[in-house]
Structure 1
Amino acid sequence: MNSQKDHVMQYQLRIAGEHYKSLQQHLFPGDGKEAVAVALCGRYERDGISILLTHQIELLSHDECQRDPNFIHWKTERIVPLLEKAEKENLGILKIHSHPGGYMQFSETDNQSDTEFFQSVFGWCDHDGVHGSAVMVPDGQIFGRVFTPSLENFTIDKISVAGDSIWIFDKSEVEQDDFSVRTRQAFGDATYSQLKKMKVGIVGCSGTGSPTIEQLVRLGVGNLLIIDPDTVERKNLNRILNTTMQDADASRFKTEVLTDAIDKMGLGTKVIAYNVNLYESREALEELISCDVIFGCVDSVDGRHLIAQLTNFYLVPFFDLGVRLDADGRGGIKGITASIHYIQPGCSSLFSRKLYTQKRLYDENLKRQNPADFEEQEKQGYVHNANVDRPAVISINMQISAMAVNELLNRLHLFKDEEPKNYAKVTMDYTGGCIINEAESSFAQDAISQKWVGRGDCKPFLRLMEL
Structure 2
Amino acid sequence: MITRFSVAMTSGVAQHLTDHLRRADGQEDCAFVLWRPSTGASRTTALLAEVVLPQEGERIVHGTVDFTSAYFLRAAALAAERGCGLGFIHSHPKGRGWQRLNAIDHEAEASFAAQTQVITGRPLVGLTFAGTDAGFGARIWQQQAPRRYAPTEAESVRVVGGRLMVTFNSRLVPVPPATNRQLRTVSAWGQTTQDDVARLHVGVVGCGSVGMLVVEALARTGIQNLSLFDFDTVEEVNLDRLLHAAIRDVHLHRAKARLAVRSARRAATATNFRAAPYELSVVEPAGFAAVADCDVIFSCVDRPWPRAVLNLLAYAHLIPVVDGGIAVDARGGRLRGAEWRAHIAAPGRACLECLGQYDPAHVQAERDGSLDDPAYITGLPADHPLRRKENVFVFSASAAAAQLNQFVTMTTAPGGIADTGAHLYHLTTATLERRVDGCERGCPYDGMLRALGDDAPVTVTGRHPAAEQARTARARAVRRWPLRARRAVDDLLHRFR
Query: TM-score normalized by structure 1?
Result: 0.85
Change (3 A) 1:62 1:358: farther
Q: Distance in 1 between matches of 2:321 and 2:353?
A: 14
Which of these residues, 130, 149, 152, is aligned with residue 150 of structure 2? 152
Q: Give the AA of the match of 1:83.
A: A
Q: Distance in 2 between matches of 1:253 and 1:105?
A: 43
User: For residue 459 of structure 2, what is the aligned residue in structure 1?
Assistant: 463
Q: Distance in 1 between matches of 2:398 and 2:371?
A: 34
User: For residue 89 of structure 2, what is the aligned residue in structure 1?
Assistant: 96
What is the Cα deviation at residue 297 of structure 1?
Answer: 0.6
User: For residue 393 of structure 2, what is the aligned residue in structure 1?
Assistant: 394
Alignment of structure 1 residues 50-129 onto 2, 5 Å: 50-61=44-55, 65-74=59-68, 75-85=71-81, 89=83, 91-102=84-95, 104-106=99-101, 110-126=105-121, 129=123
What is the Cα deviation at residue 19 of structure 1?
Answer: 1.8
Residue 427 (str. 1) matches residue 424 (str. 2): yes
What is the Cα deviation at residue 440 of structure 1?
Answer: 4.3
8 A Cα contact 2:35 2:48, kept in partner = yes
Q: Secondary structure at the match of 2:244?
A: coil
Q: Give the AA of the match of 1:425.
A: A
User: For residue 405 of structure 1, what is the aligned residue in structure 2?
Assistant: 404
User: For residue 278 of structure 1, what is the aligned residue in structure 2?
Assistant: 282
Alignment of structure 1 residues 285-296 onto 2, 5 Å: 285-296=288-299
8 A Cα contact 1:16 1:163, kept in partner = yes
Q: Higher mean Cα deviation, 27-36 or 399-408?
A: 27-36
Give deviations 1:203-223, integer Å, cap 9, x for gaps. Answer: 111121111111001101111
Which of these residues, 216, 219, 231, is aligned with residue 217 of structure 1? 219
8 A Cα contact 1:226 1:273, kept in partner = yes
What is the Cα deviation at residue 396 of structure 1?
Answer: 1.7
Q: Secondary structure at the match of 1:463?
A: coil
Q: Distance in 2 between matches of 1:73 and 1:316?
A: 33
Q: Give the AA of the match of 1:402.
A: A
User: For residue 260 of structure 1, what is the aligned residue in structure 2?
Assistant: 262
Q: Give the AA of the match of 1:325.
A: V
The alignment covers a number of residue pairs equal to 449
Give deviations 1:227-274, integer Å, cap 9, x for gaps. Answer: 112222222212111011332344422222222222334645321112
What is the Cα deviation at residue 183 of structure 1?
Answer: 1.0
Q: Secondary structure at the match of 1:148?
A: strand
User: For residue 4 of structure 1, what is the aligned residue in structure 2?
Assistant: none
8 A Cα contact 2:304 2:360, kept in partner = no
Change (3 A) 1:355 1:261: closer
Change (3 A) 1:298 1:455: same
8 A Cα contact 2:36 2:454, kept in partner = yes
Q: Give the AA of the match of 1:439.
A: V
Residue 164 (str. 1) matches residue 167 (str. 2): no
Change (3 A) 1:244 1:173: same
Q: Distance in 2 between matches of 1:54 and 1:66?
A: 24
Q: Distance in 1 between matches of 2:104 and 2:261?
A: 51
Q: Distance in 1 between matches of 2:351 and 2:49?
A: 17
Q: Distance in 2 between matches of 1:178 and 1:452?
A: 44
Residue 132 (str. 1) matches residue 132 (str. 2): no
8 A Cα contact 1:301 1:356, kept in partner = yes
What is the Cα deviation at residue 71 of structure 1?
Answer: 1.6
Change (3 A) 1:331 1:347: closer
Q: Distance in 1 between matches of 2:417 and 2:108?
A: 38
Q: Distance in 1 between matches of 2:159 and 2:443?
A: 19
Q: Higher mean Cα deviation, 65-74 or 307-316?
A: 65-74
Give deviations 1:125-179, integer Å, cap 9, x for gaps. Answer: 345x453333242421111222223231233231112221111111223212221
8 A Cα contact 1:202 1:224, kept in partner = yes
Which of these residues, 305, 308, 324, is aligned with residue 308 of structure 2? 305
Change (3 A) 1:154 1:80: closer
8 A Cα contact 1:228 1:277, kept in partner = yes
User: For residue 434 of structure 2, what is the aligned residue in structure 1?
Assistant: 437
8 A Cα contact 2:351 2:446, kept in partner = yes
Q: Distance in 1 between matches of 2:348 and 2:406?
A: 20
Q: Secondary structure at the match of 2:312?
A: helix
Q: Give the AA of the match of 1:39.
A: V
Q: Give the AA of the match of 1:121.
A: T
Q: Secondary structure at the match of 1:452?
A: coil
What is the Cα deviation at residue 325 of structure 1?
Answer: 1.2
Change (3 A) 1:394 1:465: closer
Q: Distance in 2 between matches of 1:36 and 1:303?
A: 40
Over the matched positions of the two proteins, sequence identity in percent amounts to 20
Change (3 A) 1:177 1:297: same
Q: Distance in 2 between matches of 1:267 and 1:111?
A: 39
Q: Higher mean Cα deviation, 193-202 or 293-302?
A: 193-202
Give deviations 1:24-83, integer Å, cap 9, x for gaps. Answer: 223336454444332221224566533212233333357754334432434223314423
Change (3 A) 1:60 1:443: farther
Q: Give the AA of the match of 1:312.
A: Y
Q: Give the AA of the match of 2:120.
A: C
What is the Cα deviation at residue 106 of structure 1?
Answer: 4.2
User: For residue 186 of structure 1, what is the aligned residue in structure 2?
Assistant: 188
Q: Give the AA of the match of 2:221.
A: L
Q: Secondary structure at the match of 1:247?
A: helix
What is the Cα deviation at residue 105 of structure 1?
Answer: 5.0
Q: Secondary structure at the match of 2:234?
A: coil
Change (3 A) 1:390 1:153: same
Q: Give the AA of the match of 2:111.
A: E
Q: Where do 5+ consecutive residues of structure 2 fail to align?
A: 464-497
Give deviations 1:343-398, integer Å, cap 9, x for gaps. Answer: 114754212334333333333333458849x839x85x799936223311111221
RMSD over equivalenced CA pairs, Å: 3.1
Query: TM-score normalized by structure 2?
Result: 0.80
Q: Where do 5+ consecutive residues of structure 1 fail to align?
A: 1-6
Change (3 A) 1:266 1:140: closer
Q: Secondary structure at the match of 1:409?
A: helix
Q: Higher mean Cα deviation, 448-457 or 162-171?
A: 448-457
Q: Distance in 2 between matches of 1:24 and 1:242?
A: 47
Which of these residues, 332, 335, 338, is aligned with residue 332 of structure 1? 335
User: For residue 322 of structure 1, what is the aligned residue in structure 2?
Assistant: 325
